[in-house]
Amino acid sequence: MLFNSFDFVFFYFIVTILYYVLPYKSRWFLLLAASCYFYMAFVPLYILILGFTIVVDYFAGIYIENAVGKRRKILLICSLVANIGILAIFKYYNFINDNISILATNLELSNNIPYLNILLPIGLSFHTFQAMSYTIEVYRGKQKAEKHFGIYSLYVMFYPQLVAGPIERPQNILPQLHAKHEFNYANLSAGLKQMAWGFFKKLVVADRLSIYVDTVYPNPELHNGTTVVISSLFFAIQIYCDFSGYSDIAIGCAKTMGFDLMTNFKRPYFAKSISDFWSRWHISLSTWFRDYLYIPLGGNRVKISRRFLNLFIVFILSGLWHGASYNFIIWGVLHGVYQIIGLAIKPYLAKLETHFSSFFLQIWNFLKGTMVLSIVTFAWIFFRADSLTDAFTLISNLKSFGKMPFLGSGINQFGHCILAIILLFSIEYVMEFKPNFKLINNSKPLIRWASIMALLFIILVFGVFNGGQFIYFQF
């Protein structure tokens, strides 16, 4: 079930009303049943896979807590193998098999390993990572094993964040699933406003830009460099609004029932360095990799060369997390390289900046922001292109930059894209640099109501209502 569908609107209102109407003790059951229904709206059978990881990790958590010595580690490894095994089968099996075939062909051998003709369960990487964080935290002794099977299932399946995050940690969610949430107007209001903002990002910006991007990217050979630059910038904004819009709707939706989910995005295109970008982009995933991979690898407390290697490993795996293709690997490699360069030049830049006047510093920061946006957008080419060949065709077309760009299905469509971008960045600029200037949260009711109405009518007048899929569902 897509957030941007009428089915979800009905579903959301029914579940939220029932949540407050039902007695506290049966709410977990309502949420779990609703989450199952939500998930089964995609491919019903795949709930069995989810069920398998839930059962494995539920018992693993309890056994790990009760075990001592090496047994704890063995149990953790068993749980991780089960989770990663599911991921490997559904997400990476055919990719690995493809590579074996290529290798075998080069060695003049034949590969008889059969291909799996299966669809990737929706949001598999998200809920698998969330489930893994639970067993790791129990192993580390930072989280008590959850004894209530229903509550644990809900931890993995809580419908707002089930298919595209934020990837939560047990310390944040499990206590909230046990707590009694009373009806609270402030929560409801804040949640609905955040949902409206998410719908703005998705319907007005992401789905509008996708019309242009989806025309250019599948036919890279037909487009000149100017079009490639525009469509890549559009995609950079599209994927941000698509994914952060989803997160806003998820966080807002949970908030209306009294749950606080973690922040997942903080206006990443206002970042002034690549590390700043990653502290603002998909925060729940980047902190997951930090906590469960980067720090165990040694984190910042190792030699600089080892630190570079660790960063590189993290970003390659982050690329692979998104999908089993070389496009995602190259995307990860590029970000790894960006991080390493950023880290290497950081002290020199800091030293240089001490000589700048405040005015020049502002220009410098703007230039740094533009540089971050440019290199991030360049990496998105690999992320969006249908194949490596397409990505390289797009890049080679950049040499014809300066020619008249393709305008999509007319000036109307292109004009809507530009309008959507202007609206987005105007609002985000205010949020970033004038945090005290409130619109939908203004203390004066007239301004607050006028802003809310303006937001809703902008969605109604300029939004795209074709039920566009969320990009991150495929991961």
Partner 1 sequence: MQKISLKHFIKNLLIFVLVIFTLDRVFGYVLEKFYFSLKTGQFAQNTYALNEAAPDILIFGSSRALHHYSTPILSNQLGLSVYNAGRDGQFLPYYCASQEVILERKIPKIIILDVNIWELGPNESKYFKLASLLPYVNEHPLLRKYTAEISTYENLKLISKTYPYNSTLLISVYDYMNSDKLPQDDRGYYPLVRTVSEKEFNIYKDNQEVYNQKRAKQDIKIDPKAVAYYRQFLKKTATLNIKTFVIISPTILTEPNSKEKSLLKEITQEYKNVTFLDYTSDTLYNNQFQLFADEFHLNNIGADIFSKNLVSKIKEE
Residues classed as catalytic: 322
The nearest distance, CB 4 to partner 1, in angstroms, is 11
Q: For residue 437, state whether it binds partner 1 (rule: CB under 8 A).
A: no
Candidates 130-138, 280-288, 355-363, 452-460; binding stretch for partner 1 (CB under 8 A): 452-460
Q: Which is nearer to partner 1, 21 or 361 (CB)?
A: 21
C-alpha 453/C-alpha 422 separation (Å) is: 19
Q: For residue 184, state whether it binds partner 1 (rule: CB under 8 A).
A: yes
Cis status, amide bond into 166, omega within 30 of 0:
yes
The nearest distance, CB 181 to partner 1, in angstroms, is 11
Candidates 67-75, 221-229, 268-276, 369-377; binding stretch for partner 1 (CB under 8 A): 221-229
User: Given candidates 416, 421, 440, 471, which one binds partner 1 under the rule CB under 8 A?
Assistant: 416
Would you state the structure tokens that stand for residue 56, as one six-digit string?
A: 């494995």
The nearest distance, CB 211 to partner 1, in angstroms, is 8
The nearest distance, CB 222 to partner 1, in angstroms, is 5
First to last CA, the chain: 16
User: Given candidates 343, 462, 473, 474, which one binds partner 1 under the rule CB under 8 A?
Assistant: 462
Q: For residue 6, state whether it binds partner 1 (rule: CB under 8 A).
A: yes
The nearest distance, CB 227 to partner 1, in angstroms, is 12
The nearest distance, CB 204 to partner 1, in angstroms, is 10
Contact pattern from residue 233 through residue 272 relative to partner 1, giving x for each residue in contact according to CB under 8 A and a dash for the rest: ----------------------------------------
Q: How far is CA 174 from the centre of its chain?
A: 21
Q: For residue 185, state whether it binds partner 1 (rule: CB under 8 A).
A: yes
User: Given candidates 13, 115, 183, 356, which one binds partner 1 under the rule CB under 8 A?
Assistant: 183
Per the CB < 8 A criterion, the answer to whether 8 and 15 are in contact is no
The nearest distance, CB 415 to partner 1, in angstroms, is 5
Candidates 51-59, 243-251, 270-278, 449-457; binding stretch for partner 1 (CB under 8 A): 449-457
C-alpha 97/C-alpha 112 separation (Å) is: 10
Q: For residue 461, state whether it binds partner 1 (rule: CB under 8 A).
A: yes
Q: Which is nearer to partner 1, 61 or 408 (CB)?
A: 408
User: Given candidates 362, 412, 426, 441, which one binds partner 1 under the rule CB under 8 A?
Assistant: 412
Q: For residue 419, state whether it binds partner 1 (rule: CB under 8 A).
A: yes
Q: Which residues contact 208 (CB under 8 A, 6 or more apart)?
A: 416, 417, 420, 462, 463, 464
Q: For residue 457, state whether it binds partner 1 (rule: CB under 8 A).
A: yes
Q: Which is nearer to partner 1, 26 or 409 (CB)?
A: 409
C-alpha 207/C-alpha 66 separation (Å) is: 49
- Count of residues in contact with partner 1, rule CB under 8 A: 33
User: Given candidates 89, 100, 371, 453, which one binds partner 1 under the rule CB under 8 A?
Assistant: 453
C-alpha 71/C-alpha 79 separation (Å) is: 12
C-alpha 458/C-alpha 274 separation (Å) is: 32
Q: For residue 415, state whether it binds partner 1 (rule: CB under 8 A).
A: yes
User: Given candidates 410, 435, 443, 444, which one binds partner 1 under the rule CB under 8 A?
Assistant: 410
Interaxial angle between packed helices 47-66 and 27-40, expressed in degrees from 0 to 180 and rounded to the nearest 10: 140
Instruction: Show contacts with partner 1 in window 379-408 (CB under 8 A).
Output: 393
The nearest distance, CB 40 to partner 1, in angstroms, is 18
The nearest distance, CB 312 to partner 1, in angstroms, is 34
Candidates 165-173, 291-299, 377-385, 453-461; binding stretch for partner 1 (CB under 8 A): 453-461
Q: For residue 2, state whether it binds partner 1 (rule: CB under 8 A).
A: no
Q: For residue 466, state whether it binds partner 1 (rule: CB under 8 A).
A: yes
User: Given candidates 23, 112, 182, 303, which one binds partner 1 under the rule CB under 8 A?
Assistant: 182
User: Given candidates 162, 257, 464, 471, which one binds partner 1 under the rule CB under 8 A?
Assistant: 464
User: Given candidates 11, 62, 463, 470, which one binds partner 1 under the rule CB under 8 A?
Assistant: 463
Q: For residue 219, state whether it binds partner 1 (rule: CB under 8 A).
A: yes
Which residues contact partner 1 (rule: CB under 8 A)? Answer: 6-7, 182-186, 188, 211, 219, 221-222, 224, 393, 409-412, 415-416, 419, 449, 453, 456-457, 460-467
